[in-house]
């Protein structure tokens, strides 16, 4: 029970800091602002001037009417006969993403549509220099996909995975860099660290109390920002399409998952990134004993992760790029999280979202262990 008392004490100290509330408030306001900004202004649709909000409502209504329709020869014939009225635009966008490289002069039919999608997937296999074993893995899963695919409107869930979970992940990296290091650096800056040597239950228990408080803070902030974004998206776009096929959003992906499963997977990884970011911030804070230095390292590392890219022009670059996608600032990007490149563990092929939880949990445990050695060693030496 003592460790929970220590955790509660550190937790209260965190939430009493003004910079926590200011940073969290600014980030929540930024999310709301970005969501609303996409609906502000005017656009030209079908030769008519209209507002972004009105156009969104029109396209949302078109998409809802088409939800549940199989993308088969019958629907393709309707689209060809429509003459470009815009009613079928939501499905047309999906069809265009499936058949982006279709060059046959004959009208697109059901068979050629799904063949074009498989050819599109092959482009990724070649570009990523994927082994035959990896390609066979995806081709086996392809056989389990139900054809023809059924169109489903899933605006809110696609936006969350495509933009906002990644944005929240970056915000959590910055937030933990700003708010969490003080849990450990405060002792050093106030010169109160040696008082712990006089306490009966100091050192180890206090360390784990601090780690728990910082970890819970990071996860709590993830949930708060996630809730803000999710409420905004559901109010605007509605909860439709949770069961729609993931291939409508990520064309090349071969697993028979739904858009809802895609969202839940991304949320799980967001929480793990938040947990890892908090533990990493606390570890660096105790290692350097400097708040500003820790913040600079974490924010600088996040920016470098986003700016540096490794095009898979050689096998080495392919593996460097694959590793780079697992880093916190990159992992929640939709193209990274649902990358087709696999990791083989004891002969088992794992995709990014299957391997990343193991990697992040293991890294978090190692950081906690290393941090304990640094923390307790410093207290004993009285440096």
**Other residues' Cβ atoms within 10 Å of the Cβ of residue 167:** 17
**189 is a domain residue:** yes
**113 is a domain residue:** no
Q: 109: Cβ–Cβ under 8 A, 6 or more apart, which residues?
A: 73, 76
Total number of domains in the chain: 1
Entry field: residues in the chain:
383
Question: In which domain, by residue range, is 8 found?
Answer: 2-38+154-376
The token duo for 341 is 């490149």
The token duo for 136 is 């066979």
Is residue 349 a contact partner of residue 133, using CB atoms and an 8 Å limit? yes
**259 is a domain residue:** yes
**Other residues' Cβ atoms within 10 Å of the Cβ of residue 371:** 23
**55 is a domain residue:** no
**275 is a domain residue:** yes
Q: 75: Cβ–Cβ under 8 A, 6 or more apart, which residues?
A: 69, 91, 151
**273 is a domain residue:** yes
Q: 106: Cβ–Cβ under 8 A, 6 or more apart, which residues?
A: 112
Is residue 313 a contact partner of residue 191, using CB atoms and an 8 Å limit? no
Candidates 88, 57, 273; CA nearest to 172 is: 273
pTM to 2 decimals? Answer: 0.90
pLDDT tens per residue, the chain (383 residues)? 678 887 888 888 889 888 899 999 999 999 999 988 888 877 776 667 778 888 888 889 999 999 999 999 999 999 888 877 788 899 999 999 998 777 766 778 899 999 999 999 999 999 999 999 999 999 999 999 999 999 999 999 999 999 999 999 999 999 999 988 888 877 666 655 555 555 555 577 888 888 999 999 999 999 999 999 999 999 999 999 999 999 999 999 999 999 999 999 999 999 999 999 999 999 998 888 888 888 888 899 989 988 888 888 788 889 999 999 999 999 999 989 999 999 998 889 999 999 999 999 999 999 999 988 888 776 544 44
């Amino acid at each position: 029970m003592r460790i929970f008392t220590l955790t509660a004490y550190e937790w209260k100290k965190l939430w009493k800091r003004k910079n926590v509330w200011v940073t969290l408030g600014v980030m929540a306001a930024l999310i709301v602002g970005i969501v609303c900004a996409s609906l502000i202004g005017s656009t030209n649709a079908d030769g008519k001037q209209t507002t972004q909000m009105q156009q969104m409502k029109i396209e949302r209504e078109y998409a809802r009417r088409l939800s549940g329709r199989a993308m088969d020869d019958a629907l393709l014939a309707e689209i060809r006969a429509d003459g470009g009225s815009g009613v079928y635009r939501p499905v047309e966008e999906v069809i265009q993403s499936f058949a982006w490289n279709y060059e046959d002069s004959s009208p697109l039919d059901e068979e050629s549509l799904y063949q074009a999608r498989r050819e599109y997937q092959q482009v990724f296999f070649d570009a990523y220099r994927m082994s035959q074993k990896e390609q066979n893995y995806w081709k086996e899963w392809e056989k389990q996909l139900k054809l023809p695919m059924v169109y489903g409107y899933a605006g809110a869930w696609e936006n969350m995975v495509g933009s906002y979970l990644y944005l929240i992940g970056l915000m959590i990296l910055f937030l933990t860099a700003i708010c969490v290091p003080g849990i450990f650096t405060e002792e050093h800056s106030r010169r109160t660290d040696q008082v712990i040597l006089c306490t009966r239950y100091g050192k180890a228990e206090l360390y784990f109390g601090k780690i728990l408080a910082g970890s819970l803070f990071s996860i709590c902030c993830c949930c708060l920002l996630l809730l803000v974004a999710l409420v905004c998206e559901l109010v605007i776009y509605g909860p439709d399409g949770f069961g729609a096929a993931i291939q409508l959003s990520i064309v090349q992906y071969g697993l028979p998952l739904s858009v809802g499963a895609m969202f839940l997977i991304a949320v799980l990884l967001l929480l793990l990134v938040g947990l890892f970011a908090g533990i990493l911030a606390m570890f660096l804070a105790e290692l350097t004993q400097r708040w500003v230095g820790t913040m600079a390292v974490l924010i600088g590392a996040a920016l470098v992760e986003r700016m540096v890219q490794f095009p898979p022009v050689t096998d080495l670059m392919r593996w460097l790029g694959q590793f780079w996608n697992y880093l916190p600032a990159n992992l929640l990007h939709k193209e990274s999280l649902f990358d087709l490149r696999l990791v083989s563990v004891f002969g088992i092929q794992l995709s990014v979202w299957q391997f990343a939880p193991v990697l992040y949990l293991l890294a978090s445990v190692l950081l906690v262990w290393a941090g304990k050695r640094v923390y307790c060693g410093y207290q004993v030496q009285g440096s």
